[in-house]
Every structure is written in C-alpha cells, then in structure tokens.
Structure 1
Amino acid sequence: MTEYTLRTIVDGYSYLEGPRWHDGRLWFADFYTHTVNAVNADGSIELVATVPHQPSGLGWLPDGRLLIVSMKDRKVLRQESDGTLVEHADIRDLCGGHANDMVVDAQGRAYVGNFGFDLMGGAPHEHTTVVLVDTDGSASIVADGLSFPNGMVITPDGSTLLVNELFGNRISAFDIHPDGTLGERIEWVGYGDLGAEPDVGTRLEAATIVPDGLTLDAEGAVWIADAANNRAVRIVKGGEILDEVSTAPDGVFAVALGGDDGRTLFLCVAPNFDETERTATRLGRMLATEVDVPHAGRP
C-alpha cells in the first residue's frame, strides 16, 4: 500500500467532525467548543457559527444557506444570510439518540443519522433510523434497523445513498426514489452480521471495520474513517480494501476529499472519542494527505 505523509491543517480543538470542502474552503464542526469553522486559503480560520447543543453534520441548500445538525436537541438548524441560526427541522421524535452526521442532496433534502442509544452514558446498543428532512423542514423516517448510522454519501447521479454503520461492521446502500424516500437496505460492504448483541465493546471486538466518517471518490470507492483501528481505508463495493492511511496513535473519526483538485484527503483525528476527555482537552486536529483519485458525489 502507498506510503502517505500527513500534515497538520488545524489543531488545538476538542473533537472535529463533519469535514466538508465547499466553495474553496475546508469546513468542520468542533463538538465541545460548539463551533462550526472554515479554513481560508491563507490558513486563517473563520468562526462560522456557534451551536450550543453541539454541531455535527454540515450541508448546504441550493441557495447556499448552511444546514447544521444540532446533536443534543436533535434538530437541523439553518443559517440565514445575515448569519443567524433558525430551526429548519425538529427530528427528536424520529431519533433514538443524538442526531449526528448528515448529507444534503442536490434538491436540498437532508438525510440525518443518529446514535440510537446513549453511547456516552454506557447504554446498551440499539438499532435506529435515518431521517429525511425535506426542503420545507418536514421530516420522516426513511430507513430503520441500522447500527449507529454515521457518515453518508450520495453518488454523483443522485441514485444511491451509502451509509456507514459504525457498530454494524458494514456499509449499507439504499436506492433513492424520486421523492427522496429510500428503497430496501443493500449490503455494500459487510464483514459479518453482529446481530442484536447489546454490548458495544463486544461488537467492537467482533468487527473488522468500525466505519465512522465517509467520503466517495471518482472511481466509486470510498474512504472511511475506521474509528477503532487508527486508520482511514479505501474500500470498494464487496469489501476489498485498496489502500490505508495510518493515523496511529490517534484515532480518525471523519474524512473528506477536497482541495482545488479534489485529491486532498482530510482526516479528523483525536486520541479517542471519550466525551469527558475530549471536553477537557484540546488535542483534536485536522490532518491532510494527497491521494490519486479525486472526490465525487455529495457531500
């Protein structure tokens, strides 16, 4: 596999998530400083928004307004042209835990995952939903029975949604219907069904991959943040691993392809995902390296 040289883009944050390349800038959320930020071409960082209930997934409406997942109150917020944040959708009754990552399609419809259970509180694992937020803010469940649906991408033709199942040992695919609803789950990558096992530690021990963040490239492969294995891996449908970027000793929890030519792989790293430790320290960083195949699809 290729030898990669990592460089630091930003550091001194708590726990970075939701990296996105948009309008020539790298955007990201920082969980425990409650901020959404953008890196300018000169390396300076702009504070875009403050989200008291913890920001995660990011996306944009066709008119350019920013959507932000507000995790702990389980809402999607919208940033208006004057910078104010307003409620775009309240999805609390459709989630089994904190709202989490999100992908927004070309029409402005948002697909939002959620934890499904109280991970930080040590609750037993439960399967959960993907929620569709339509352009008018109405929301509905479009997939169920997923194990912590996390990073998501939409293929360039808009026909397929890929979803990382963090504690499911798999990546799932869904056909996207014209109205935004989804077809049945298709196993895109699977390394063994972990079933209804309630203990998160047992699920992690049995898993080959622990797929957190996700980004798609122009050859139809995905880079995933393999959260428990201190690496990002490039995988094709069926499960063959083509390449790997080690982030040891740090874990990697989200990835994105971007840069002017789409060939920069951005990696959100931290020592672990422990909420108490990450809140109290500022060891979260954004790393980057160059890869051969550029970005494709959304986000």
Structure 2
Amino acid sequence: MTALTTTVLADGLGFPEAPRWHGGRLWFSDFHDRVVRTLGADGGQEVAVELDDSPSGLGWLPDGDLLVVSMVRRALLRVGERGPQLHADVSGSTRFRANDLVVDAAGRAYVSSFGFDLEGGADPEPTALLRVDLDGSVHVAAEDVVFPNGMVLSPDGRRLVVAETYAARLIVFDVAGDGTLSGRRVFAELPGVAPDGICLDAEGQVWVATARSPEVLRVREGGEVTGRVAVGSGSLSYACALGGADGRSLFVCTAPSWRPGRRAGRIEVARVDVGSA
C-alpha cells in the first residue's frame, strides 16, 4: 500500500493530545501548557480553557458542556458558563494519572487511566476502565485492562473500542442500554505497536496513533492494516481524529516525545478516502 503523508497545520506546541472535531474546529489538549486549544482549518489557534492541571481526554455532554480529564488530580471537569467545575472525582478508582475519555449520547463518560507509575519507570500493571454517569457517579466498567488509552464508540453507541497501549492490541466491548460493558474480545492484535489515541471511520475501521513510531495505521477488525499515514520527520504519533467539512481530514497529534522538553508538538493533517463515523 502507498503511505500517505501529512502537512503541518500547527507547530511549536507543548504536547498536543486528545483531538476532537467539534463545532467546525479541532479541539485538543496541550497538557504541558495546561490548556485546551481550538484550531481552525486555516491554522488559527485559540485557547478555549485554562487549567491548573494537565488536561487530556475531551468530550461533550448533551447540554453542550465540555468534559475535560484533569490528569494529575484524577478528576473530570465540566466546563460551562461558570468555567471548569468538578464533575467527578475518579481518584478513588484509579492509580496514577487519569487519561482519555469518550462520552456517549446519554452523557456517560468512559475514562481511562495509566494504572502504574509510567513516569517513574514502573512495570505495567492492569487497571480498571471507568464509567462516569451523567450525575457524576463513578463505576468500574471493566477490570484488568492494560493501560487503557484512546477509545471510540460506534455511531449507534453499541460497541466500544479501547486501545490497550502496553498489551499491543485493540479490544472491543458490547455496550448495553444502561452503559454496562460485556462481551470483551480482541478487535486487533498489533504486535510491536503501542496503540495510543484512536478514531473510527465510516467503514468501521480504526485509525491508530502508534506512540513509538512516525505513522498512523488504519486497522480492520481482525488486525489487517489497510492504510498508513507517515508523520513529519522527527515526530511520533500520539493521537488522531477525523474531521473537517467532509470528515476526511485526518488530524494527528505529534511530538518527538511525550516528556517535557523543547516545544516541538505539532498538529499534522492528511486527506483520506473514507470519512469519519
């Protein structure tokens, strides 16, 4: 297959993560800068939210309020007219940093976390995937997940795909009407890959940021790699989102490393054949 390449839409960022296309703009967390930014198709940036902690996963509630993962605090913040307010404290159900999230149509948020001291060099340990209901109550959605990271819901809300970064695979759950998960199984084994942020296209295939390599993979259920996008020289891919006016712009968050350092984070973009789910 022929690998697509990206162009740079924005650079000089701290560490961009958790991209989401919403309201005609790309939203993303810049977690070393402790802000949520938005980006227009012309590359124009705005700061949407300032925090006193590193933000990560983003999603929207049915009333339009933004949910933001507060990583070190291990909480979900609800951002509305009054600014960031505590929506849920997940510190009692997590070890080390909270990470990504995805929100369903009913306002339930599925929340991932590190599960071990990544920054301190500890060995990986399984952790729980959480569900936070609209009332802010916290529930264990699944046990024994190895560094759950990026997540996507199918358009009908009946399937949840989760990247297990340190297990080198994507897994999938069936989602009941009350948000309960069941039927855990492997969506795709990805040997040698550290799947990070993911997004879903209209054919049910998943774009996977690879964290340790300079590319994004398009993966069919079962594990076949059907597409590749190469990112810019010197960068690794950490998260991705489909968006743009026709849903066919693949936005990729890249940086040389996730650790603090020189300001070399970028938003890169490639045009793909199949639009977003």
Same fold (TM over 0.5): yes
The aligned runs of 1:208-227 (5 Å cut-off) are 208-227=192-211
Contact between 1:210 and 1:228, CA under 8 Å: does it hold in 2?
Answer: yes
- Kindly provide the CA deviation profile for residues 159-213 of structure 1, in whole angstroms up to 9, marking residues without a partner as x: 000000001111000111111111132111125xxxxxxxxxxxxxxx4221001
Instruction: State the 1:5 CA deviation.
Output: 3.5
CA distance in 1, matches of 2:81, 2:103: 18
The aligned runs of 1:111-260 (5 Å cut-off) are 111-191=110-190, 207-247=191-231, 248-260=233-245
CA distance in 1, matches of 2:30, 2:178: 33
Contact between 2:148 and 2:164, CA under 8 Å: does it hold in 1?
Answer: yes
Q: TM-score, length-normalised on structure 1? A: 0.90
Amino acid at match of 2:270: T
Gap runs ≥5 in structure 2: none
CA distance in 2, matches of 1:78, 1:245: 34
CA distance in 2, matches of 1:292, 1:50: 35
1:16 aligns with 2:16: yes
The aligned runs of 1:61-100 (5 Å cut-off) are 61-82=61-82, 84-100=83-99
Partner SS state of residue 183, structure 1: strand
CA distance in 1, matches of 2:228, 2:189: 18
Q: Percent identity among equivalent residues?
A: 46
Gap runs ≥5 in structure 1: 192-206
Contact between 1:58 and 1:66, CA under 8 Å: does it hold in 2?
Answer: yes
Partner SS state of residue 171, structure 2: strand
CA distance in 2, matches of 1:116, 1:62: 29
Partner SS state of residue 275, structure 2: coil
Amino acid at match of 1:251: L
Amino acid at match of 1:260: A
- Kindly provide the CA deviation profile for residues 121-175 of structure 1, in whole angstroms up to 9, marking residues without a partner as x: 1112101111100000001111111110000000011100000000111100011
Change in 2 beyond 3 A, CA 1:214/1:263: same
Partner of 1:36: 36
Partner of 1:47: 47
- Kindly provide the CA deviation profile for residues 231-258 of structure 1, in whole angstroms up to 9, marking residues without a partner as x: 1000000000001112243110000000
CA distance in 2, matches of 1:170, 1:2: 23
Contact between 2:163 and 2:171, CA under 8 Å: does it hold in 1?
Answer: yes
CA distance in 2, matches of 1:41, 1:172: 32
CA distance in 2, matches of 1:172, 1:88: 27
Instruction: State the 1:229 CA deviation.
Output: 2.1
1:287 aligns with 2:272: no
CA distance in 1, matches of 2:234, 2:142: 35
CA distance in 2, matches of 1:52, 1:124: 29
- Kindly provide the CA deviation profile for residues 30-49 of structure 1, in whole angstroms up to 9, marking residues without a partner as x: 01100001113543211111
Partner of 1:269: 254
Contact between 2:41 and 2:244, CA under 8 Å: does it hold in 1?
Answer: no
Amino acid at match of 2:198: L
Amino acid at match of 1:246: A
Q: CA RMSD in A?
A: 1.2
More helix by share: 1
Q: TM-score, length-normalised on structure 2? A: 0.97
CA distance in 2, matches of 1:161, 1:112: 12
Contact between 2:58 and 2:101, CA under 8 Å: does it hold in 1?
Answer: yes
- Kindly provide the CA deviation profile for residues 62-85 of structure 1, in whole angstroms up to 9, marking residues without a partner as x: 111100000001000000124x11
Query: How many residues in Structure 1 have an aligned counterpart in Structure 2?
Result: 276
Amino acid at match of 2:7: R
Contact between 1:235 and 1:241, CA under 8 Å: does it hold in 2?
Answer: yes
Amino acid at match of 1:284: G
- Kindly provide the CA deviation profile for residues 2-29 of structure 1, in whole angstroms up to 9, marking residues without a partner as x: 3423111111111110100001000000
